[in-house]
Structure 1
Amino acid sequence: MDIRQLARGTIEWSRLERVVRTLADRYGRDVVRVEFLEADNWLSTPCVIDEEWFVKIVSRQNALVHALLTTGRNVGAFSSGTVGLFDRFDTPRQMVEHEFEATRRMREIGVNAPRPIEAFEVNGLGVLVLEYLPEFSTLEEMPDEDVADLAPDLFEMLSTMHDHELAHGDLRAENILRRDDELYFIDATKVHEDRIADTAAYDLACAMAVLEPRIGARDAVTAAATEYDAETLLAAREFLDFVRLRPDHEFDSTLLRSELEKAADLGRG
């Protein structure tokens, strides 16, 4: 069994069936078609309903795993010289309500994200309903030349969030989608609201770590420098070792650090 599936756990079919029936009742459908997805994540059981709604079902075990991951991330942030950046959730409902609100805020400020429909609880399970985006690809599935073309858009979206005192907190390739040649952000996590400068630098480090293996350190930093000043680039540099410890980021931190320092020197020159 895959470690992520083991950590995520299995929700009893009777409880899943109750969620689906609740959704059918809420949306006035006698019958719905459900497709459960083999998503590579730890924190929910995802499914698509009637090819119209993307639904995340969150259990107490998912909330516990999130709390453990949050503790690990905060330890990593502390090792980078920064007090913990991330907040935990105590219940499945809190998890889905946060993602609903984060997605709503992203759209409100002009950042592409799936339209949030509702978040609620059924029999102890958190349920998040978003619009289903058909025919999308993740950044890790895109050709390198497309990644290079869209890199400036990624940093523009990210800087828009930071300008509005929002942070993503979990930026990785599978959380960046492309549909109709536009990028979308999904799966924003919970960060301390009073640490926007640090969380912005962390987001920026994650974005460059995602791009470096695909388009090279120099081009990744050049794209970032179109939106961020020298001070912020150097702040992101301090998070590279922390980001490198994450299993979902594989990149050359030495090259990226060098290019960041060069770009910062030029920006201050």
Structure 2
Amino acid sequence: MAFRRLLRSSVPESQLSAVAAEVTRRFGEPTEDVEWERLDANNWLSVPCVVNRRWFVKVITEQHTFVHALLTAGRNIGAFSSGTEGFFERFSTPIEMAEHELDATKRIRELGIAAPEPIEAFEYEGVGVLVLEYLSAFRTLDELPSEEIRSFAPTVFSNLASMHAAGLAHGDLRAENVLVAPDAEGVETLYFIDATRVQDGTIDDAKAYDVACALASMEPRIGAGSATDAALESYSIDELLAARDFLDFVGLRPDHDFDTAGLKGEIEKVAS
């Protein structure tokens, strides 16, 4: 716990309040009596807030870029252990992190995949600030009943496949980064958030890693068979075998807890 507290950046309330006022100023609203709230989220790479119940704001500090560099190094070591070169890239500054997520969110939406509307990224008094649409009523994928996860699973993989076909990888696919919220017509829709950076020219390895993460996210709730069947609607057997090679690495991540052997066995069974 002490190590987690060391890594997690603490941003003073006064600084968050100033950022919230700057957000409202930029969008032409009064800066007096700004309504803002720090969200209680398990996030090492930003401090998330909601401003005026309209904007989802991520405040990114130098410490967040340092933590991202540590995580990136660890992930690349894991990629090496899976038999491929590392493909994750780090960020140099807080504003670079904010601008990357803004651009990645724009690209995801351009593919027709739901994601919160990207609004702006800017630097303010040494921190990076990312402003996105606030989804006021959402559930993360892991909060859904198992049957709902089963019904959404093919869409998770088809959206990933659309990203991969366009040369875009998510890089940090886990249940907490897939949201379910009503769209403009009130239809429950999957939203993808928190895409990270991977190197250009590494889409095949990044794709295999994304698929492995998606399988690992779903296996505990719907079983290895259902997760694999959903993936097979969008990916070939060979692509699932490539994902299998990353499962040991994914299993080392503290945010994934799944039956590695069972999932590998299911992939090998359908490949035989």
The alignment's TM-score, normalised by the length of structure 2, stands at: 0.95
Give the structure 1 partner of residue 185 of structure 2. Answer: none
Residue number among 112, 119, 122 corresponding to 2:121 in the alignment:
119
Are 2:11 and 1:11 aligned? Answer: yes
Residue 221 of structure 1, CA deviation? 0.3
Give the structure 1 partner of residue 207 of structure 2. Answer: 200
Aligned-residue Cα RMSD (Å) equals 1.2
CA distance in 1, matches of 2:154, 2:197: 25
CA distance in 2, matches of 1:2, 1:189: 26
Q: Residues 56 and 132 of structure 2 are in contact (CA less than 8 Å); yes or no, is this contact kept in structure 1?
A: yes
Give the structure 2 partner of residue 161 of structure 1. Answer: 163
What are the within-5 Å matches in structure 2 for residues 1-269 of structure 1? 4-30=4-30, 31=32, 32-180=34-182, 181-265=188-272
Q: Residues 176 and 186 of structure 1 are in contact (CA less than 8 Å); yes or no, is this contact kept in structure 2?
A: yes
Residue 206 of structure 1, CA deviation? 0.3
Q: Residues 95 and 123 of structure 2 are in contact (CA less than 8 Å); yes or no, is this contact kept in structure 1?
A: yes
CA distance in 1, matches of 2:4, 2:178: 20
Residues 28-37 or 94-103, more deviating? 28-37
Q: Residues 225 and 263 of structure 1 are in contact (CA less than 8 Å); yes or no, is this contact kept in structure 2?
A: no
Q: Deviations over 1:95-143 (max 9, x none)?
A: 0000000000000011110000000100110000000001100011110
The amino acid that maps onto 1:199 is A
Q: Residues 4 and 41 of structure 1 are in contact (CA less than 8 Å); yes or no, is this contact kept in structure 2?
A: no
Q: Residues 17 and 36 of structure 2 are in contact (CA less than 8 Å); yes or no, is this contact kept in structure 1?
A: no
Distance 1:178-1:5 versus aligned 2 partners, 3 A rule: farther
CA distance in 2, matches of 1:178, 1:24: 27
Could you tell me which runs of 5 or more consecutive residues in structure 1 were left unpaired when the two chains were aligned: none
The amino acid that maps onto 1:156 is S
Residue 3 of structure 1, CA deviation? 5.2
Residue 20 of structure 1, CA deviation? 1.8
Q: Residues 241 and 253 of structure 1 are in contact (CA less than 8 Å); yes or no, is this contact kept in structure 2?
A: yes
CA distance in 2, matches of 1:93, 1:127: 7
The amino acid that maps onto 1:222 is D
Residue 86 of structure 1, CA deviation? 0.2
